[in-house]
Amino acid sequence: MKIRLDNVVKEFETFRAVHGVSLDIDSGELVALLGPSGSGKTTILRMVAGLEYADAGAIYFGDENATDIPVRERGVGFVFQHYALFPHMTVGENIAFGMKVSKIKRSPQAIAARVKELLDLVQLSGLKDRFPGQISGGQRQRVALARALAVDPRVLLLDEPFGALDANVRRDLRRWLRKIHDELGITTLFVTHDQEEALDLADRVVILNKGKIVQEGTPETVCRSPADAFVMNFLGDANRLEAEIRGGKAHVDGIAFEADGIADGSGQILFRPADVTWREDGQGIAASIVRVIDRPDSRRVLAMTRSGQAVEFDTAPEFPHRRGDAGFLDIRRPRVYAAA
Partner 1 sequence: MRLRRRVLPGLPLALGITLVYVAIIVVLPLAALVFKAASLGPEDYWRIISSDRAVASYRVTVTCALAATAFNLVFGLSLAWVLVRYRFPGRRLVDALVDLPFALPTAVAGIALTTLFATNGWFGGPLSLIGIKVAYTPLGIMVAMSFTSIPFIVRTVQPVLEELDPALEEAGQTLGASDLSIFVTVILPLLTPALLAGVSLSFARSLGEFGAIIFIAGNQPFSTEITALLAFIRLEEYDYPASAAIASVMLLTAFVMLAITNFMQARALRYTVRG
Tell me how far apart the alpha carbons of residues 1 and 26 are, in angstroms, rounded to a whole number: 7
Q: Does residue 71 touch partner 1 according to CB under 8 A?
A: yes
Paired strand residues for 283: none
Cβ distance 135 to 146 under 8 Å? Answer: no
Helices (H), the chain: 41-49, 71-74, 91-101, 108-121, 137-149, 167-184, 195-201, 219-224, 229-235
The residue range among 34-42, 126-134, 248-256, 304-312 that interacts with partner 1, by the rule CB under 8 A, is 126-134
Q: Indicate the residue among 72 and 332 with the shorter CB distance to partner 1.
A: 72
The residue range among 129-137, 163-171, 194-202, 330-338 that interacts with partner 1, by the rule CB under 8 A, is 129-137
- Nearest partner of 149 among 87, 107, 95, judged by Cα: 95
- Nearest partner of 36 among 57, 15, 55, 20, judged by Cα: 15
Pairing of strands 265-271, 298-305: unpaired
Contacts (CB under 8 A) with partner 1, residues 29-68: 49-51
Q: Indicate the residue among 85 and 180 with the shorter CB distance to partner 1.
A: 85
Half-sphere exposure of 283 (CA within 13 A, CB side): 8
- Check the CA dihedral 147-149-155-158 and report its sign: positive
Cβ distance 138 to 165 under 8 Å? Answer: yes
The residue range among 131-139, 226-234, 298-306, 329-337 that interacts with partner 1, by the rule CB under 8 A, is 131-139
Q: Does residue 126 touch partner 1 according to CB under 8 A?
A: no
Contacts (CB under 8 A) with partner 1, residues 150-189: 150-151
Q: Does residue 69 touch partner 1 according to CB under 8 A?
A: no
Of 126, 133, 296, 324, the one binding partner 1 (CB under 8 A) is 133
Minimum Å gap between C-beta 318 and partner 1 is 48
Counting residues that bind partner 1 (by CB under 8 A) gives 33
Q: Indicate the residue among 103 and 295 with the shorter CB distance to partner 1.
A: 103
Q: Indicate the residue among 102 and 125 with the shorter CB distance to partner 1.
A: 102
Tell me how far apart the alpha carbons of residues 7 and 20 are, in angstroms, rounded to a whole number: 4
Q: Indicate the residue among 160 and 216 with the shorter CB distance to partner 1.
A: 160
Q: For the chain, how big is the Rg over CA atoms in Å?
A: 25
Q: Indicate the residue among 98 and 226 with the shorter CB distance to partner 1.
A: 98
Tell me how far apart the alpha carbons of residues 213 and 232 are, in angstroms, rounded to a whole number: 14
Minimum Å gap between C-beta 323 and partner 1 is 45
Pairing of strands 76-79, 30-34: unpaired
Q: Does residue 122 touch partner 1 according to CB under 8 A?
A: no
Per-residue DSSP letter, 101: H
Tell me how far apart the alpha carbons of residues 329 and 51 are, in angstroms, rounded to a whole number: 51
Q: Indicate the residue among 17 and 71 with the shorter CB distance to partner 1.
A: 71
First to last CA, the chain: 39
Q: Does residue 131 touch partner 1 according to CB under 8 A?
A: yes
Contacts (CB under 8 A) with partner 1, residues 72-101: 72-74, 76-78, 80-82, 84-89, 97-98, 101
Q: Indicate the residue among 98 and 327 with the shorter CB distance to partner 1.
A: 98
Binding residues (CB under 8 A) for partner 1: these are 49-51, 71-74, 76-78, 80-82, 84-89, 97-98, 101-103, 130-134, 147-148, 150-151
